[in-house]
Structure 1
Amino acid sequence: MTSRARGTDDATTVESVAATGREQTRQRVIEAAIDLLTRGGRDAVTTRAVADAAGLQPPAIYRLFGDKDGLLDAVAEHGFAAFLATKHVDPDPPDPIEDLRAGWDVAVEFGLANPALYTLMYTEPVGTSSAAFKAGMEILMGRIRRLAAGGWLRVDEELAAQIIHATARGAVLTWLSLREERRNPALLTTLRESMVAAVTNQQPAVRDAGPAGAARALRAALPEQTTLSSAEQDLLREWLNRLAADG
């Protein structure tokens, strides 16, 4: 090995060690901020307090996160990643509606177990830009697509996602806003079942899951609709016949 090659390898090793050390320090600061947030709320998370708790000087916070808002964004992202880790994904659940209920319960339970962190996650604008938040929403959309494929979905997929997400977030934030003696578990159950009733059918609209079953169901209902012209109905019927034949 030439001296130049050895020098390059040594420089790469030094950079790797430095990056690892920086990430470890960054994680220590995030954990210190979460501890302060949990014990004292958002106002307790000052750059000086976090630096002291992490054993650093305040300027280190600015080098790592830019400013306090950057630190809070990192804390929220950490929260979304922790939430994502609690989610169970079954690509073929035996009962997609029970799977929906279970996913909703997991979201609410995480919020109730981490009230200060959850409040930060869902009351700051960082939420929708979080990579972990987006991954979590993909899991939710997978559940919704399975409901749709089985003929269980009552509303549009995007609206279903909004209802599910909004009811879970509303349930947690409402519960946390109540005094201890006013917290009735029936509130959470009722909100969950209201969500299920709003986004799913009591019986599947499609008897057989999959494109062929959906095509047969739509073909059967086609004569009752008046939105399409006769020519458009004929074309759609031809497409549906092809899809139905594949089943």
Structure 2
Amino acid sequence: MSSKREQSIAERKARILEAARTIIARDGYDALTTRGIAEAAGVTAPTLYNLVGDKTAIISAMATASVEELWGRLHLDERGSPLAMADAILDEAYAQIMANRELNRANLIALERLGIAYAYHPARDDPGAHAARRSVEMVQYTCREAQRLGQLRGNLDAQLLAEQMFAAYRAPLDDWLHDAIDASEMLRRQRIGFYTVLAADASEEFREELLARIAKLAASQTVHPKMEKEAA
């Protein structure tokens, strides 16, 4: 395959995914059809199927691309400290969601409706599990670096810690997705979750720093505007 052909395929794939993002962000999951995506991307329906696949494959590709994009921006080895790495993972993921919140909300809802869970499971090989594994790898890198520096004692395996940190990330994301909390509260809860898991295996000095951060975050809980209105 020539480089020109490879470039052409990559460009058409990118157009297909961008068309899908535009449609789902503007009109929601129900408006997303392979015919509509093909027309918006300027390709034929057979080309769309050959390059990406059906609607499920397109939604899955969007989710995978989102996680890989986050990996590409993180540069964890340049963050200076494990705690800065952990914060960067949360902050960059939050920035990515907020950059196009309607698209990301619609995409996550679409995954649910298609039965593709963005959840960690080592034995599953679907796109949701792949994206989750990549997310766990980001946090595991952070935990291993903290162990290397003695900030984590190593009594708990880095993989186990990373899985629990991912779970602490996912629960507030689900609450935000279903409009139970706002975005800032989602990030606050995710950060508390990360720090709490790290504190379970932290050295005494690192644990004190984590507990101080948790206490500060615990004092800054926000109330969803919708809940405030209902309470009034």
Check whether TM > 0.5: yes
Tell me the equivalent position of 2:16: 29
Query: 1:105 is aligned with what amino acid?
Result: D
Instruction: Tell me the distance in 1 between the aligned counterparts of 2:150 and 2:36.
Output: 53
- Give 1:166 shift: 1.7
1:198 matched residue in structure 2: 197
1:50 to 19, 27, 37: 37
Residue aligned with 2:195, SS: helix
The Cα shift of 1:91 comes to: 5.4
CA distance in 1, matches of 2:52, 2:201: 49
Partner residue, 1:160? 161
Counterpart CA distance in 2 for 1:151 and 1:168 is: 24
Q: Is the 8 A contact 2:161 2:198 kept in 1?
A: yes
Q: Which residue of 2 aligns with 1:141?
A: 140
User: What is the alpha-carbon root mean square deviation over aligned residues?
Assistant: 3.2
User: 1:62 Cα deviation (Å)?
Assistant: 1.7
Paired residues of 1:87 and 1:106 also in contact (CA < 8 A): yes
Counterpart residue type for residue 82 of structure 2: P
- Render the CA deviation track for 1:46-103: whole Å, top value 9, x for unaligned: 101101111233222222223222222322222222222231313572x422432332
Q: What is residue 109 of structure 1 aligned with on the other side? A: 95
- Equivalent in the alignment of 2:86: 100
Residue deviations 1:120-175 (CA, integer Å, cap 9, x gap): 69742413335xx6555433221110122233337432221112112222222312
Partner of 1:77: 64
Distance 2:49 2:202 in 1: 56
Cα pair distance change 1:17/1:191, threshold 3 Å = closer
Look up the equivalent residue of 1:97 and give its one-letter code: L
1:42 deviates by 2.3
Secondary structure, counterpart of 1:56 in structure 2 = coil
More displaced 10-residue stretch of structure 1: 183-192 or 55-64? 183-192
* Identical-residue share of aligned pairs (%): 25
Aligned to 1:6: none
In the other structure, the counterpart of 2:130 is 129
Measured after TM superposition, the shift of residue 34 of structure 1 is 1.2
Q: Secondary structure at the match of 1:85?
A: helix
Aligned partner of residue 66 in structure 1, secondary structure:
coil
Structure 1 moving runs of 4+ over 6 Å: none
Q: Please give the alpha-carbon distance, in whole angstroms, between the structure 2 residues aligned to 1:189 and 1:103.
A: 13
1:66 equivalenced with 2:53 (yes/no) = yes
* Aligned counterparts of 1:39 and 1:91: Cα–Cα separation in 2: 36
Aligned positions, number: 189
Preserved contact between residue 37 and residue 45 of structure 1 (Cα < 8 Å): yes
Unaligned runs of 5+ in 1: 1-11, 208-247
Query: Residue 90 of structure 1 aligns to which amino acid in structure 2?
Result: D
Please state how far the C-alpha of 1:184 moved relative to its aligned partner.
7.2
The answer (yes or no) to whether the contact 1:108–1:171 under 8 Å persists in 2 is no
Quickly say closer, same or farther: Cα 1:112–1:173, change in 2 above 3 A.
farther
Deviation at 1:28, TM superposition (A): 0.9
Greater gyration radius: 1
Structure 1 residues 43 and 192, CA, compared in 2 at 3 Å: closer, same or farther? Answer: same
Contact 1:144 1:160 in 2 (8 A): yes
Contact 1:108 1:172 in 2 (8 A): no
Within 2, Cα distance between the matches of 1:121 and 1:159? 29
Letter paired with 2:5: A
Could you state the TM-score of these two structures normalised by the residue count of structure 2?
0.66
Distance 1:110 1:171, change over 3 A: farther
